[in-house]
């Protein structure tokens, strides 16, 4: 059923730390009504986890790949699962 919530896990590669990328991602996710977080990792990637309707998560994924983000995105590796729930809002971690 397309209305069931999903979990998008997206590893964003490129120049995406120290440029407002997590703030930008949080803003887009909240506009789409998604819950989750964006977290910096030591290797320079940002891990974005978002839960909500599949079409809205796909919109966020498209935005991450759009070329309009802060910094420079070279690659986004996505993984889809069933939503786990338990998150409120969208955090920068």
Comparing C-alpha atoms, which of 1, 3, 9 is closest to residue 81? 9
Say which residues have a Cβ less than 8 Å from residue 66's Cβ, sequence separation at least 6. Answer: none
Give the 3-state secondary structure of residue 75: strand
Any idea what DSSP says for residue 52?
E
| Residue with token string 């290797």 | 43
Residues assigned a catalytic role: 22, 40
């Amino acid at each position: 059923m397309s209305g069931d919530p999903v979990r998008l896990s997206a590893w964003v590669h490129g120049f995406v730390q120290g440029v407002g990328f997590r703030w930008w991602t949080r803003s887009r996710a909240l506009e789409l009504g998604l819950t989750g977080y964006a977290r910096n990792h030591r290797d320079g990637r940002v891990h974005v986890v978002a839960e909500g309707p599949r079409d809205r998560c796909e919109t966020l994924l498209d935005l991450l790949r759009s070329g309009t983000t802060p910094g420079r995105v070279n690659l986004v590796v996505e993984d889809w699962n069933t939503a786990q729930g338990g998150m409120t809002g969208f955090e920068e971690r």
